Chains A and B, each alone.
Chain A
């Protein structure tokens, strides 16, 4: 019987994500990304943008990036802002 509990999926997602941070780069600057477990997203420090991971699938389309303001934690209620591309 396949277990589809939320806990199992989350574990898998976290495991995949840390590996992904090593392989993927920021689609805009091509600089390395950093995994942020707290917000489950990949951070591009070069331009201060965070890309969400939804259902274990990282969203690395430039317009999915959320601009991080310097002294504020990433708040999920913030509206996503688009980067100019």
Chain B
């Protein structure tokens, strides 16, 4: 009985996706994130029931950071992933035998947090200051475009992009840039909202996405449109297999993906040889 009424609700819902022209997309993305920047972290907790933290932990654990690494986190504005990588490196170092070499390596660690939106970066930098990491040379905040990165060829040991690839207008360009900046042996990891195929769960997820999320966005962030855009951009993004193929086409090898929560989230990874 309850399922039938949810079904009817879904069909009645206007699922018209707003058609977005390419040239409009980056402007629209810019506006979305300027608008949501201050409530971004709170909204993430609300929308995912706090799960986004576990997903990011999983991403960082797959990355397996090491002291002295040069890492690039793209679309990482508020620093969630950047801080986790920083903490992970500093905790591993504590466990290792302390000698002069290790301390030097620690100091050589560089985590670049790159985002196209200055407001998101500002929130991230404020968080760093609040943690006492404002002057720490290992965390570097840079405003940049995922499709035209400001880093030299083969300079990075790791590249992550968490919940950001769907906002990029030309995914192939972002993947090509990721490949360019990674050193041989470097790893690419992408954490993103993906597609659910499981029969009943899919419908529940659709209902949650289209009816609940924009409403919460309206109530908490005061911005229904941005969260409507968010949900639509998730549906428009290529499915897991297709995205994996795109990563291979960019030159990566050993491309794999791991579904979390039935495909609500997927972590794609690849290696540059």
Contact = CB atoms under 8 A, between A and B. Distances in A.
A47 interface: no
A7 interface: no
A18 to B, nearest CB: 12
B254 interface: no
Given A12-B135, A19-B137, A24-B142, A57 B148 contact: no
Interface string A24-54: 1111101000000000000000000000001
Interface in A6-24: 12, 16, 19-20, 23-24
Contact of B145 (A12, A20, A56, A61): A61
B27 to A, nearest CB: 10
Contact of A62 (B129, B135, B137, B148): B148
Given A23-B151, A30-B153, A57 B142 contact: yes
Nearest to A22: B152
How many chain A residues sit at the interface, stated as a range, is: 20 to 34
B143 A64 contact: yes
B137 A27 contact: no
A85 B148 contact: yes
A62 B149 CA distance: 9
Most buried by A among B125, B134, B143, B150: B150
A2 to B, nearest CB: 8
Given A25-B152, A85-B148, 5 more contacts: A12-B134, A57-B121, A57-B143, A60-B142, A62-B145
9 contacts: A2-B129, A19-B137, A24-B152, A27-B144, A30-B153, A60-B143, A60-B144, A61-B144, A62-B145
